[in-house]
Amino acid sequence: MTVESTAARKPRRSSKRTGSSAGKAVADPQLVQLLTPEGQRVEHPDYDVDLTPEELRGLYRDMVLTRRFDAEATALQRQGELGLWASLLGQEAAQIGSGRALRDDDYVFPTYREHGVAWCRGVDPTNLLGMFRGVNHGGWDPNSNNFHLYTIVIGSQTLHATGYAMGVAKDGADSAVIAYFGDGASSQGDVAESFTFSAVYNAPVVFFCQNNQWAISEPTERQTRVPLYQRAQGYGFPGVRVDGNDVLACLAVTRSALERARRGEGPTLVEAFTYRMGAHTTSDDPTKYRADEEREAWEAKDPILRLKTYLENEGHADEAFFASLEEESETLGKRVREAVRAMPDPDRMAIFENIYADGHALVDEERAQFAAYQASFATESDGGFAAGEGK
Amino acid sequence: MTVESTAARKPRRSSKRTGSSAGKAVADPQLVQLLTPEGQRVEHPDYDVDLTPEELRGLYRDMVLTRRFDAEATALQRQGELGLWASLLGQEAAQIGSGRALRDDDYVFPTYREHGVAWCRGVDPTNLLGMFRGVNHGGWDPNSNNFHLYTIVIGSQTLHATGYAMGVAKDGADSAVIAYFGDGASSQGDVAESFTFSAVYNAPVVFFCQNNQWAISEPTERQTRVPLYQRAQGYGFPGVRVDGNDVLACLAVTRSALERARRGEGPTLVEAFTYRMGAHTTSDDPTKYRADEEREAWEAKDPILRLKTYLENEGHADEAFFASLEEESETLGKRVREAVRAMPDPDRMAIFENIYADGHALVDEERAQFAAYQASFATESDGGFAAGEGK
Amino acid sequence: MTVQKLPIAKAINESLRKAMETDPKVLIMGEDVGKLGGVFRVTDGLQKDFGEGRVIDTPLAESGIVGTAIGLALRGYRPVVEIQFDGFVFPAYDQIVTQLAKMHARALGKIKLPVVVRIPYGGGIGAVEHHSESPEALFAHVPGLKVVSPSNSSDAYWMMQQAIQSDDPIIYFEPKRRYWDKSDVDTDAIPGPLHKARTVVAGSDLTLVAYGPMVKVCVEAAAAAAEEGKSIEVLDLRSMSPIDFDAVQASVEKTGRLVVVHEAPVFYGAGAEIAARITERSFYHLEAPVLRVGGYHAPYPPARLEEEYLPGLDRVLDAVDRSLAY
Amino acid sequence: MTVQKLPIAKAINESLRKAMETDPKVLIMGEDVGKLGGVFRVTDGLQKDFGEGRVIDTPLAESGIVGTAIGLALRGYRPVVEIQFDGFVFPAYDQIVTQLAKMHARALGKIKLPVVVRIPYGGGIGAVEHHSESPEALFAHVPGLKVVSPSNSSDAYWMMQQAIQSDDPIIYFEPKRRYWDKSDVDTDAIPGPLHKARTVVAGSDLTLVAYGPMVKVCVEAAAAAAEEGKSIEVLDLRSMSPIDFDAVQASVEKTGRLVVVHEAPVFYGAGAEIAARITERSFYHLEAPVLRVGGYHAPYPPARLEEEYLPGLDRVLDAVDRSLAY
Ligand SMILES: Cc1ncc(C[n+]2csc(CCOP(=O)(O)OP(=O)(O)O)c2C)c(N)n1
Ligand SMILES: Cc1ncc(C[n+]2csc(CCOP(=O)(O)OP(=O)(O)O)c2C)c(N)n1
Ligand SMILES: [Mg+2]
Ligand SMILES: [Mg+2]
């Protein structure tokens, strides 16, 4: 994929409802945008947000701190403190915009990259790092912040979100559920099945697809030949493409979709058109498969920069704000760094914990054998140092 | 589901390309029809067929013989000669129309109900009965008639068809592939994945969905809230709904979709709107879940009757034709009956045959043990009669 | 009236009904479970009495069924999911293995997954392909799942009660060819633990271990052997994960001989696990190697051959004889 | 130059290249197999040389990958499919078990399914969840599949050649933590049969059986034991279906003792099958019960605990000692 081919798929007409074309990329509704890459506030017939300067600064702060946290995690991976990191660089607006559209009682089903959404939910960022450090497979209580664990198997969580939303509807609650997934994930059978179930049961769920143009080394063309948001209409619910680097538009579109869900009108697919600025993960080397120019073109659309320009132009934020945010960023970075370094390795007996809620005889047996085996080293003449080498 | 709700979803506007509505059932293209239930030949802006009287009689004959065969199989099941039968009653036009649109070099991937398509491919009908009698899991060579084995796991074959079509394209052949599936199957992840793969690789495949309104006891509303043919557009290829009880329209629409595939324009979804007049299979009891009136309403749309009326009105067939067809039907019925009754049980050693093309040591071992075990009965004093009772 | 003679299918139906009456969070989901009451009528009448909101006909998509059941469980529901036939559980296998089995551990115990997956399984009903399989080992090998199978109506009733009450995901295999076999169910009884084996026939010369549909065959084999003066003990395993090795061990250390019987292919089957573990536990007690009787390493054959494929009385007795010959 | 020292990953790469050169019907399919050359670079350079038509980046859908590979095989192609990591094979499990494994039998032998499914498997690379699993038993239990795993570069090369040439579907498990281990590959050698075990170390006191990543550990264990005067024979199984029981039996009847080692959970694992069958075959030769060393009945743990979970030198030696103590 080249920059051109991506650009060629950029839609031209805007609409809350999805467009008509099948088999060719004409007459796409333009993507919803409220803030241009140049930081200009623009109108949209269907979507709007009316935010106070404080709220705008809040969104800016969220994005800056999220990016700072993400950069710190990448650095910690390089330093060997984390085994892996999946950076959200470039996707801050999509995540903060959608994340801030949520109510406390809404429920989030993320992939492995939703650090910005986690931030909006109030999940302590350091909690996200456990699985990447290798001390656990998910270190938070999903119900504390209505933020489910990260899901690594691509697409699976869309069904969990749909089932959860079916439960919300059963309970008569007016909460909504949001399922995050990627452009690559859109090909998984599970995602299609979640569209079917949510449509048939009219479940209050928003499918939030961050189309960051890449699934590891594969461009979105490997997953679809028409814009992804159009997928929804064939299942009987609306799809909309939003500028995923525009935090205001992401907020507005997600809010509208959540409201629709609350009103009992069922699911919506939101395609946030954005870009993965970094590697897929720290294990990945994008120079193998994509051109620098593409990344550079997207740099001009940076989500944080455009909001900064807007805040400055409108006089909504002053130097002091930016300076104090800078400081807050550094404090966050430091806190994260220290927390990770202090993160203890799990006790080896944790292998046998929480496998079953009600216990399992074999686990009990193996736990006991393991403990005895470990103990056998301690009683040997070498004083137990061999235990750690039982590899 | 009631008759009304089905009728309510009947689309109103016709189009070769798919329509626009998302989230509601307005402005659907009407289903393509060339022959009304009353036997009237009507025009359609996008589709037509120009058939000689002989060809028309041929289609009629195909449908009548297929129905006769199907009835015989149902009877054979009642007589205990078959363990099960999945009747195509009511779906003759969809199957004969689409089946007769195929060229010899095209390839068919059926479900378990495509007896009419098998007929068009020249598969000996008695070969279809082996699996229902329980003597094999599929009794024909798929490559003899380019007609794959029946697939029971819902939806799986759509991926095989897509892969096969990818191979056809690779070979530079201008053949096409057709994948049959049902309204229920449309919910399976595999079917969605086949849409994605075929679109991305532009594979020459036609997805032929017989929407017979039911998936065992579940009405189509349990699978989708919009007409199924619309599913295609979100994957970037056209979908079209055809009157599945109109053999001419099914022929025309399938032919057009196959031609499109041959031209390298990729997949098409054809939704043949039809009705399962009988039970799901001989094991099923539809009185548990659907009203007689629904069936009666569909009886008025019978695919065979309408062509008969047309043939008679146009003077394309005379009494002699109908009489000789009647006779041919009886002969077919008799042949099938006798063939089934004469069908030998498989040799017990067949359990160990054809599991691997290149052999497998354990299979060899178990085969030998089994043979020795069987032989042990033969050498016992009772003269071997116990062998058959080794249950 | 607390003791009733019920077919297994009806016992499960009654158990589901009881659970739904007791706990409004219990849901039933699956293909055709509503008006039709399931292709085996196991959910017959439940939608009529509990409504479409609690007995849910789902789209035809097994991964979707299990995946949404997981979501419902996360919301506090207790879904009992029906897979129509053994051979159709595989589209749901990913959700079962990577999500249902692991989510509790992934969340360090902070969330629970009380989902029951009901699977009518096994052969002997003269069905077409995919309708006669015994895939239990494919689930028992997976940490995080529990796998059980009743062999009679009382167990069918009570094990379902216990499975629904359990906070763990449970794969509940129903011996479909025994659905119509009747036996007593005492709905007021105090049931034993879900994962304990049960001695069906006491004996002293050899132990037969089976579960689900094969228990009946083993009981018949024990009776036939008794006529020849052989005293066979029959254990109904009831649970394939965990396995009640203590019970098997105790029996084997009494009889000195063990034959394990199941319909599933022997190769990598439950019999392998039982043979390996019991041989390790009771090495010096075994007079003969543990023998296994089960399916061949072959796809389940067409119906006209299934009686040759399935372990029957003669094959069990043959193994008994071979074991006793050591 | 016919003998080269190659890492396992490169040996597979060379083998795929050779197969593609030899047979234009050989295709490579999977996620990121093209420009990127796969996340482990096993297909590196192949798309560049053979084009996008033969090295196919697929949509992110494993069922679709295997399902379309089946279709391509029916059309006469020989697809070699890559599953990116062990834990991601499950979405394709249905196509593998119900279609790939059974279609040849279903067609009474009239069609062939020469599909190779490559799966990098096992732990030890410090990865996140789903990237360290050993699901081989879940395939070996299924009739119609063959399951193999190389432990060194020569086998990696030749077993891939043979797998591609085979007309049967083969699940080819690649020991990912050994990808970078180098050993000699003779590309002109005449390889032995695909499904035969190989004696890696000869010995007389006890037999260690392993495959894939565990062979190395067992060789080290044999060396360590040798220092203590114990003579351990190490067998590389190479094939988990079929299993070369003759080779294991011959070794055990010489040594009298057997320990089976694998990373997969012991419960219902390959070790169970080997223990059960060898005990049956060699009942009077065994001085001790067959012991098994493997994964626990627990989800594969987070990376910081994997060395505790994986069978290592000490755990193997512990089992050796326990066996010898009988
Ligand atoms: C079922 C499954 N297959 C393969 C993978 C390996 N994998 C991890 S991320 C990824 C790409 C995902 O792309 P996308 O959905 O676009 O999300 P993104 O990473 O771009 O956020 C792949 C193939 C996986 N995690 N799960
Ligand atoms: C994966 C799978 N799940 C369930 C079944 C059981 N089953 C057989 S046919 C059927 C209904 C199929 O409905 P549809 O696709 O509309 O085809 P129809 O039978 O109406 O022709 C079901 C649920 C199956 N064969 N495969
Ligand atoms: Mg992406
Ligand atoms: Mg149908």
Whether C301 sits inside 8 A of B350 (CB atoms) is: yes
pLDDT in tens, D156-198: 999 999 999 999 999 999 999 999 999 999 999 999 999 999 9
Low-confidence ranges of chain D (pLDDT < 50): none
Instruction: Say if the Cβ atoms of B189 and A192 lie within 8 Å.
Output: yes
Q: Please count the structural domains in chain D.
A: 2
Ligand 1 atom nearest the C-alpha of A112 is: 21
- The predicted pLDDT at position B379 comes to 64
Of the three residues D127, D152, D186, the one that is the final residue of a domain is D186
D251 lines ligand 1 (CB under 6 A): no
Atom of ligand 1 nearest to the CA of A182: 15
Burial D42-59 (b: 16+ CB within 10 A, else e): bbbebbeebeeebbbbbb
User: Residue C78 and residue C19: Cα distance in Å, rounded?
Assistant: 10
Give, in degrees to the nearest 5, the angle at Cα D84 between D79 and D85. Answer: 125
- Residues C89, C159 within the same domain: yes
Assess if residue C55 is contained within a domain.
yes
Distance (Å) from the C-alpha of residue D312 to the closest C-alpha of chain B?
31
Q: Using a 6 Å CB cutoff, which residues line ligand 2? A: B 111, 113, 152-154, 182-185, 212, 214-216, 276, 280; C 31, 60, 62, 84, 88, 91
What are the E-state strand segments in chain A? 107-109, 177-182, 205-211, 214-215, 218-219, 239-243, 268-273
Q: What is the mean pLDDT of residues A189-205?
A: 98
Q: What share of chain C is helix, strand, coil (3-state, %, to 5)?
A: 40, 20, 40
- The answer to whether position C228 is within a domain reads yes
Query: What residues have CB less than 8 Å from A109, skipping those under 6 apart?
Result: A148, A151, A157, A158, A160, A161, A164, A177, A178, A179, A180
Residues of chain B with pLDDT under 70: 1-29, 379-391
The protein residue with its alpha carbon nearest to ligand 1, atom 3, reads D88
Under 8 Å between Cβ of D132 and D301: no
Q: Is C107 on the interface with A (CB under 8 A)?
A: yes
Neighbours of A388 (CB within 10 A): 12
Give, for A145, the enclosing helix (H) or strand (E).
Answer: helix A142-145
Gap between the Cα atoms of D191 and B32, Å rounded: 61
pLDDT of A105 over the 70 cut: yes
The Cα B143–Cα D109 span in angstroms is: 12
Residue C193 falls within a domain, yes or no?
no
Q: Looking at the domain assignment, is residue C14 inside a domain?
A: yes
Contacts of B141 in chain D (CB under 8 A): 107, 110-111
A42: left (phi over 0), alpha (psi -120 to 50) or beta: beta
Strand partners, C82: C30, C118
Distance CA A15, CA A29 (A): 5
Token reading at A315: 């006089």
Helices (H), D100-152: 103-106, 137-140
Distance CA D119, CA D89 (A): 8
Q: Distance between CA atoms of B280 and B286, rounded to whole angstroms?
A: 8
Same domain, D131 and D26: yes
Q: Could you tell me if C22 and C61 lie in one domain?
A: yes
Cα C46 to ligand 2 centre (Å): 22
Which one of A197, A355, A362 has the shortest CB-CB distance to C68? Answer: A197
Chain D residues close to C292, C-beta within 8 Å: 276, 280
Give yes or no for a contact between A73 and A336, defined as CB atoms under 8 angstroms apart. yes
Interface with chain A: mutation pick from C54, C100, C106, C243, highest number of A CBs within 10 Å: C106
Beta-carbon contacts of residue D38 (< 8 Å; ≥ 6 apart): D30, D32, D44, D82, D84
Distance CA A334, CA A76 (A): 11
D 38-57 near B (Cβ less than 8 A)? 53
CA distance A98 to C103: 25
Ligand with an atom nearest the CA of residue B217:
2
* Exposure letters B175-188 (e unless 16+ CB within 10 A, then b): bbbbbbbbbbbbbb
* C-beta neighbour count of D66 within 10 angstroms: 27
Q: Which residues in chain A touch residue C166, judged by CB atoms under 8 angstroms apart?
A: 357-358
Domain with residue D102: its CATH number is: 3.40.50.970
> Can you give the CATH number for the domain in which D317 is found?
3.40.50.920
Residues C124 and C174 both lie in one domain: yes
Q: Are residues C229 and C95 in the same domain?
A: no
B132 vs B149: CA distance, rounded Å: 13
Q: Is the CB of A275 under 6 A from ligand 1?
A: no
Active-site annotation holds for C131: yes
Pick the last residue of a domain from C156, C186, C216: C186
A351:D309 CB<8 A = yes
Integer Cα distance of C32 and B225 in angstroms = 18
Q: In this structure, are residues B177 and B205 in contact, taking their beta carbons and an 8 Å threshold?
A: yes
Q: Is the CB of A182 under 6 A from ligand 1?
A: yes
| pLDDT above 70: percentage of residues in chain A | 89
Q: Are residues C228 and C99 in the same domain?
A: no
| Same domain, yes or no: C88 and C176 | yes
Beta strands in D108-156 (DSSP E): 116-121, 146-148
Residue D57 and residue A222: Cβ atoms within 8 Å?
yes
Question: Which positions in chain B touch A266 (Cβ < 8 Å)?
Answer: 23
Contacts of B192 in chain A (CB under 8 A): 189, 191-193
The nearest alpha carbon in chain B to D170 belongs to B356
Tokens 């579109």 belong to residue: A253
* d(CA A154, ligand 1 centre) in Å: 5
Identify whether C167 is part of a domain: yes
C111 has a chain A CB within 8 A of its CB: yes
Pair D38, D103 in one domain:
yes
Cβ neighbours for D152, distance < 8 A, ≥ 6 positions apart: D8, D178, D181, D183, D215
Residue by residue, what is the 3-state secondary structure of B332-360? Answer: HHHHHHHHHHHCCCCCHHHHHCCCCCCCC
Alpha-carbon separation of residue A143 from A117, C98, C288 (angstroms): 15, 20, 54
Q: Under a CB-based contact definition with an 8 Å cutoff, are residues A202 and A265 in contact? A: yes
Any chain A CB within 8 A of the CB of C273? no
Q: Are strands C182-186 and C291-295 parallel, antiparallel or unpaired?
A: unpaired
How far apart CA B131 and CA C171 sit, in angstroms, is 30
Q: What is the pTM of this model?
A: 0.95
**CB < 8 Å from B in window 190-219 of D:** 195
C153 and C26 in one domain? yes
Of A191, A182, A273, give the one whose Cα is nearest residue A227.
Answer: A273
Pairs of CB atoms within 8 A across C/D: 128
* Minimum CA–CA partner of A108 in chain C: C71
Report how far apart, in Å, the C-alpha atoms of B3 and of each of A43, B38, B260, B293 are.
46, 19, 34, 8
Chain B neighbors (3+ CB pairs < 8 Å): A, C, D
- CA–CA dist B114, B117 (Å, integer): 5
**Per-residue H/E/C for B302-338:** CHHHHHHHHHHHHCCCCHHHHHHHHHHHHHHHHHHHH
Find where tokens 């109904």 sit. C236
Helix axis angle for D8-22 and D153-165, nearest 10°, is 30
Parallel, antiparallel or unpaired: strands D26-30 and D3-7: unpaired
Q: Do C290 and D280 touch (CB under 8 A)?
A: yes
- Encoded tokens for A31: 């993507």
Q: What is the CB neighbour count within 10 angstroms for residue A318?
A: 10
Beta-carbon separation of B223 and A236 below 8 A? no
Q: Based on the fold, state whether residues D62 and D156 are members of the same structural domain.
A: yes
Contacts of C64 (CB under 8 A, 6+ apart): A159, A162, A190, A193, A194, A196, A197, B187, B189, C58
Inform me whether the C-beta atom of residue C64 falls under 8 Å from chain B C-beta atoms: yes
Q: Which residue of C has its CA nearest to B225?
A: C59
Q: Is there a domain that residue C27 lies in?
A: yes
Instruction: Quickly state the pLDDT bin for A32 (edges 50, 70, 90).
Output: very high
Dist. CA B170–CA B168, nearest whole Å: 5
Full strand arrangement of the beta sheet holding B177-182: B107-109, B177-182, B205-211, B268-273, B239-243
For residue C282, the model assigns a pLDDT of 98
Amino acid at B377: F
- Which residues, other chains included, contact C177 with Cβ-Cβ below 8 Å and sequence gap of 6+? C122, C123, C124, C125, C213
Same domain, residue pair D235 and D297: yes
The predicted pLDDT at position B228 comes to: 98
Q: Which residues of B touch A17 (CB under 8 A)?
A: 22-23
Query: Are the beta carbons of B228 and B28 closer than 8 angstroms?
Result: no
Q: Determine which residue's CA is closest to atom 21 belonging to ligand 1.
A: A182
Is the model more confident about A391 or about C145?
A: C145
Q: Does the Cβ of A183 fall within 6 Å of ligand 1?
A: yes
Which of C166, C186, C206 represents a domain boundary (last residue)? C186
How close does chain D come to C168, measured CA to CA in Å?
14
- Dist CA A137 CA C99 (whole Å): 12
CA of B290 to the centre of ligand 4 (A): 14
Asked whether residue C192 is assigned to any structural domain, the reply reads no
Residue of D nearest to B195 (CA): D64
Pocket lining: A70 vs ligand 1, CB cutoff 6 Å: no
The catalytic site residues of A sit at 276, 280, 289
* Assigned domain for D135 exists: yes
Ligand 3 centroid from CA C265, angstroms: 42
Cα torsion at D278, D281, D283, D288 (round to 10°)? -20
- State which residues form the domain around C291: 198-324
Interface probe with A: pick from D42, D56, D60, D66, most Cβ of A within 10 Å: D60
Distance CA(B252)–CA(B258), nearest Å, equals 10
**Quick one: D172 and D222 in the same domain?**
no
Confidence of residue A139 (pLDDT cuts 50, 70, 90): confident
Q: CA-CA distances (angstroms) from residue C131 to B131, C11, C82, C180, D2?
A: 13, 22, 14, 17, 52
